[in-house]
């Protein structure tokens, strides 16, 4: 998290740390699901030998942590074993320029007991896309890098939703491995090249949340997905509202 603050205990109780192919984030849904980015499960740009891992194999090696804002204390609480992994079928780990479908679900083997430090985030109402209006203030949280240093505490930063047009313009001329990055309708951008508040490596998979002014509930509108550099431009987020059917199809009654 760039330009953020330490998250007080219990302020982002849905925040998960996932260690699959490196440190990443996630958000608790219900009492046994973790919403995260697909690329934290199957990173892009892997060599051929690493791509052959199955979901079952990844699930077995995945480590999930919940319940604290201090990393060392988080680890002490213990890993939450994973039962299954679900990666969106649109996600293509081989296409480094296109993060479309960058969404995944992790099912924990055992339900977690909710409390002040472990609480799920809400999903958006499918009929209400107001949270994606530019200027809507969202909050990103994560254990990711700041100033090239991996955080030892959970941080957060207020990051407003940005104009899609402006983000598209900003992307003009920028390359990812000499190719134009793809900004799809299943994504949205937030932040600003000037504000200095952004997400960064290690924050992927974490939720960008907004507080519903009516219900006062925190809603996960986006998943930290990709960007070019950290803190000097826009960040790009998976648009959760577009994947509600897929999520509900997997999570079911939960």
Partner 1 sequence: SMPTSKKLYGEVKSPNYPKPYPDNNITTWDISVPKGFRVKLNFWQFDLEPSEACQYDYVKITADKQDLGRYCGQADSITGNHPRGKEFLSTGNHMQLLFHSDFSNEENGVVVFYKGFLAYYQAIDLDECVKGNDIEDGPRCQHFCHNYVGGYFCSCQPGYRLQSDLHTCRVDCSNELFTEPSGYLSSPGYPQSYPAELQCNYSIRVEKGMTITLKFLEPFEIDDHPQVRCPYDQLKIQAGQKTIGEFCGTVPPRNIETNSSSVDILFLTDESGLSRGWKIWYSTERIRCPQPVPNDDSTIIKAPQPIYRYQDYFIVTCKTGYNLMEADEKLASFTSVCQDDGTWHRPMPRCEIVNCDTPRILKNGDFDYVSQKKNNNYQSVVRYRCNEPYYHLVTNTGSDTYTCSPQGSWKDQNGEEEIPACLPVCGLPDSPILEIQR
Alpha carbons within 13 A on the beta-carbon side of 128 = 11
Beta strand pairing call for 155-160 and 187-191: unpaired
Q: Out of 1, 20, 24, 30, name the contact with partner 1 by CB under 8 A.
A: 30
215 binds partner 1 (CB under 8 A): yes
Which segment (49-57, 87-95, 208-216, 236-244) binds partner 1 by CB under 8 A? 208-216
216 interacts with partner 1 by CB under 8 A: yes
Tell me the closest approach of the beta carbon of residue 208 to partner 1, in angstroms.
Answer: 13
Whether 3 and 196 have beta carbons less than 8 Å apart is answered as yes
Question: For 166, left (φ over 0), alpha (ψ -120 to 50), or beta?
Answer: alpha
Tell me the sheet residues that pair with 189.
Answer: 236
> Tokens standing for 38?
């697909």
**Closest to 4 measured CA to CA, from 135, 193, 200, 170:** 200
Q: Does 234 bind partner 1 (CB under 8 A)?
A: no
Catalytic residue among 100, 102, 198, 203: 102
Given candidates 84, 97, 211, 232, which one binds partner 1 under the rule CB under 8 A?
211
How many residues sit close enough to partner 1 to count as binding (CB under 8 A)? 31
CB of 120 vs partner 1, minimal distance in Å: 4
Look up 102 and say whether it is catalytic. Answer: yes
**How far is it, in rounded angstroms, from Cα 17 to Cα 85?**
15
Residues 135, 31: contact at Cβ < 8 Å?
no
Stretch that binds partner 1, among 26-34, 60-68, 164-172, 233-241 (CB under 8 A): 26-34
Query: Which residues from 73-132 bind partner 1, rule CB under 8 A?
Result: 113-116, 119-123
Q: What angle do CA 97, 92, 172 make, to 5 degrees?
A: 15
CB of 115 to partner 1, least distance (A): 6
Q: How far is the CB of 113 from partner 1 (least distance, A)?
A: 7
The reply on whether position 37 binds partner 1 by CB under 8 A is no
| Single residue of 42, 65, 143, 156 touching partner 1 by CB under 8 A | 156
Q: Is 2 exposed, middle or buried (0-12, 13-18, 19+ CB in 10 A)?
A: buried
Give the Cα separation of 91 and 248 in Å (integer).
18
Which of 42, 65, 132, 139 lies at the binding interface for partner 1 (CB under 8 A)? 139
Which lies closer to partner 1 via its Cβ, residue 39 or residue 155? 155
Residues near partner 1, by CB under 8 A: 7-14, 29-31, 113-116, 119-123, 139, 156, 158, 209, 211-212, 215-219
């Amino acid at each position: 998290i760039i330009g953020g603050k330490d998250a007080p205990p219990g302020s982002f109780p849905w925040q998960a740390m996932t260690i699959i192919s490196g440190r990443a984030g996630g958000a608790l849904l219900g009492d046994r699901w973790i919403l995260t980015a697909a690329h934290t499960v199957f990173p892009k740009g892997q060599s051929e030998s690493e791509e052959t891992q199955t979901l079952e194999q990844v699930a077995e090696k995945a480590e999930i942590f919940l319940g604290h804002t201090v990393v060392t204390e988080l680890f002490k609480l213990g890993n939450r074993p994973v039962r299954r992994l679900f990666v969106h079928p649109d996600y293509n780990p081989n296409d480094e320029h296109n993060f479309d479908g960058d969404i995944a679900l992790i099912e924990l083997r055992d339900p977690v007991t909710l409390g002040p430090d472990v609480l799920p985030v809400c999903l958006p109402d499918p009929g209400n896309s107001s949270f994606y209006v530019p200027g809507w203030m969202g909050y990103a949280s994560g254990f990711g890098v700041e100033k090239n240093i991996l955080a030892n505490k959970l941080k957060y930063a207020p990051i407003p939703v940005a104009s899609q047009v402006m983000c598209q313009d900003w992307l003009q001329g920028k390359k990812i491995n000499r190719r134009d990055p793809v900004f799809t309708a299943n994504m949205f951008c937030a932040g600003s090249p000037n504000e200095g508040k952004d997400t960064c490596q290690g924050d992927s998979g974490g939720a960008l949340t907004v507080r519903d002014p009516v219900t006062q509930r925190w809603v996960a509108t986006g998943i930290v997905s990709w960007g070019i550099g950290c803190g000097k431009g826009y960040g790009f987020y998976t648009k959760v509202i577009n994947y509600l059917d897929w999520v509900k199809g997997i999570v079911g009654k939960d």
